[in-house]
Structure 1
Amino acid sequence: MRIAIVGCGYVADMYRYCLDLHRDGLVLTGVYDRDPDRLAAFARTWGDHAYASLADLLAEPGLGIVLNLTDPENHAAVTRAAIAAGIHVYCEKPLGLTLQEAQSLGEAAQAAGLRLAAAPSNVLGEQAQTLWRAVRTGTVGRVRLIYAELDDGMVHKADYRRWISRSGRRWPAEGEFETGCTFEHAGYVLTLLVAMFGPVRRVTAHSALLIPDKECDVPVHPAPDFSCGLLEFDGGILARVTNSIVAPYDHRLRVIGDGGVLSVDEPWDFAGPVRLKRTATGRLDRFLERRFPGRRGKVMPAARRVPFRGGRGRPTMDFMRGVREFADAIREGRPGRMDADLAVHITEVTEMLQHPDRFPVPAPVTSTVAAMRPMDWAQ
């Protein structure tokens, strides 16, 4: 499948690094960015063809997928342009900044007979698939509750000005603060929860801007830096999802069932372990649980070994895996695991978390999504 990248910012280097993992299925025709310096640096770093304009990129013969890696506020415009040119689109998260925007993009793609999908694709990773398999096989019995933390530390106090991508792009602090940590991060958990438990039915949420002054070099208008929501799924399953860039770093995800707890420490790490801790029932077990709350449990057998090595400057997620799954689904003429309905659903739930003032309390979720299939190697 021939693909082209639009947007050569910070995250584009992570996608580009992972392209080598999919040379047997994806061919990059070239890249484009409206900033000529950024485009030149990226093309020089990776040795890619640089298109002179978006129109030139969209006119590329045989181009199958536009990989939209622009800033969130430009996602819709670039996606619409690609759809108008008759090209499928895989978009970096979020698909849109409102439910209405995401729905309109999905409707435009459907009317044109095209496919549309959006990141994040960590749900396709080895850790997520191992966790999902444990849930499907009843490892902890009936699931009752999920606790999901996406606290990223007090980012505006971090030395983020020194966070530089391989092609020399600085981490886009101002844009991240203005988009909001909920729109930036919630999808990593929401996509996995929807895969495991089906669509979210109702949301009760609260958000706040706790630190308006983000100490940036230029004025910014930051979005809420904290959100907490209760998500209701079919079967009485309840998830509490917290996002912040205020509280200390904590990315734990815990799935609590009648027979124990399945947990991961970092959903951004495909190689991260999934741990099982059985429910404490006897007096000794309950004493040990109170006395040693940090006991982590046993590591579950992984669905498969991660076929790449992350860390030490390399991504711990295969950012291109979602693109590859999208391309394979198009080529094989089958439904994709990650499609427009999923992207719209995640956008709606995320908007409810970040902007609860726009919705009733509790808010019924109007969008829905079909059941996702596990990866073949994780059946």
Structure 2
Amino acid sequence: MGQPVNVGIVGCGAISAQYLQTIDRLPQLRLVAVADLDLDRARDAVRPYAGVDVLSVAELMADPRVGVVLNLTIPAAHAEIALQAIAAGKDVYCEKPLAATAEDAAGMLRAAEAAQVRVGCAPDTVLGTGTQTARKAIDDGLIGRPVAATATMMTPGHERWHPNPDFYYAPGGGPLLDMGPYYITSLVTLLGPVATVIGAASRTRAKRTIGSGPRQGEEIPVTVDTHVTGVLVHISGALSTLVMSFDGTATKAPNIEVHGEAGSLVVPDPNYFDGSVLFSEGREDGWQTLPAAAGYVGAGRGVGLADFASTPAGEEPRTSGSLAYHVLDVMESLLTSAHSGTSVNITSTCERPPPVALIEPLQNIDSM
């Protein structure tokens, strides 16, 4: 086992707790510093973890110990923080989406290439046993040639539980840019990159009411579409139907289904790492559960950072910036299609990420 990669985190909001827990139990990573606009929040976040410095953003970027910057800021700040890390000669791994716009994301990738540093991006949930077991079933030919998929996320909106949900309803937010990365990254992992999209979208309310926390009852403006649907035409020829909504109440639709000429799969919620994969050949015995056969066992948010940091130089990480850029391009193009009423060709592409073998325990990640 080689030396661990030193990590500096920028942004200590709600999602940071999950990353901190995972980094703490991964020998491939060592957290050395955190930064946040609210230094008290940063101190509170790392209080359970010894030996972690609380710095300003500028100090963290200048810290020679930091090898990779984990960018957990809000989407609107992703590009700014990533460009600072790149300028400092550091690899950077972003929470999803890669940036608020595809144009910003493209600028990040160009800067990284010029600086000869790497960019990676969440979601890493697709590396868990849920999506990876479904990927293996497809690759093994269990369902025959894939022809179609459906992906559905239907909720009333995050303002019910999040104390500061403003960014979910600002540019860079909305159900598509917030939750779409999980679903579209999973679809690309399962079926390959996308060539064309056709979209439609709506916005049901101009304001949302915060449902919990110190701001409970406060109204916030909605400036993005809150129900987005469309069709993704994969280069492989498979068609994926997507529904992402903050305007529903509940649904019994599977999160993801994949249909092939010889069978169908129900794929677990891509917001999680594990879950049961169901398989049917259309016979009377119905659906059977496939045993976990691929993916990181017991994974948590941050395993993608470890996978990224462990990828040898010259190889494309599974959670690469090019994959995240393609997913962002697909989402942005869906919205463009929705507003124009015409299909949109996707100008970007990416490699279908390499599969993950069944790895247990999680600590063995660096051996792959």
**For the superposition of Structure 1 and Structure 2, which TM-score range results when normalised by the shorter chain?**
0.7 to 0.9
Amino acid at match of 2:89: G
Amino acid at match of 1:3: V
In the alignment of these two chains, the number of paired residues is 345
CA distance in 2, matches of 1:119, 1:363: 25
2:245 is matched with which residue?
244
Q: Deviations over 1:5-58 (max 9, x none)?
A: 000001111111212331x10010111101123222213244463433111111
Amino acid at match of 2:305: V
- C-alpha distance 45-113 of structure 1, shift in aligned 2 (>3 A): same
1:175 is matched with which residue?
167
Q: Deviations over 1:108-167 (max 9, x none)?
A: 1001101001110111111111000001111111211101101124544x3x15xxxxxx
2:321 is matched with which residue?
340
CA distance in 2, matches of 1:318, 1:114: 25
Contact 1:352 1:358 in 2 (8 A): no
CA distance in 2, matches of 1:359, 1:65: 40
- The alpha carbon displacement at 1:233 in A equals 1.0
Amino acid at match of 1:175: F
- The alpha carbon displacement at 1:262 in A equals 0.2
Normalized against structure 1, the TM-score is what?
Answer: 0.85
Q: Which has the higher strand share?
A: 2
Between 1:242-251 and 1:229-238, the stretch displaced more is 242-251
- C-alpha distance 59-318 of structure 1, shift in aligned 2 (>3 A): same
CA distance in 2, matches of 1:38, 1:14: 15
1:313 is matched with which residue?
none
Is 1:202–2:196 an aligned residue pair? yes
Residue 363 (structure 1) aligned to one of 344, 347, 359: 344
1:329 is matched with which residue?
311
Give the CA RMSD over aligned residues: 2.2
Q: Which has the higher helix share?
A: 1
2:365 is matched with which residue?
none
Amino acid at match of 2:199: A
Q: Which runs of 5+ in 2 are unaligned?
A: 211-217, 360-367
Between 1:126-135 and 1:59-68, the stretch displaced more is 59-68
CA distance in 2, matches of 1:305, 1:367: 27
Identity of aligned residues (%): 29
Is 1:319–2:323 an aligned residue pair? no
CA distance in 1, matches of 2:134, 2:305: 22
Is 1:377–2:340 an aligned residue pair? no
1:185 is matched with which residue?
179
Is 1:83–2:86 an aligned residue pair? yes
Name the SS for the 1:342 alignment partner.
helix
- The alpha carbon displacement at 1:358 in A equals 6.2
1:62 is matched with which residue?
65
CA distance in 2, matches of 1:371, 1:262: 19
Between 1:173-182 and 1:332-341, the stretch displaced more is 332-341
Amino acid at match of 1:228: T
Amino acid at match of 1:52: L
Contact 2:158 2:168 in 1 (8 A): no
Normalized against structure 2, the TM-score is what?
Answer: 0.87
Contact 2:123 2:319 in 1 (8 A): no
- C-alpha distance 133-8 of structure 1, shift in aligned 2 (>3 A): same
CA distance in 1, matches of 2:158, 2:358: 37
Contact 2:78 2:94 in 1 (8 A): yes
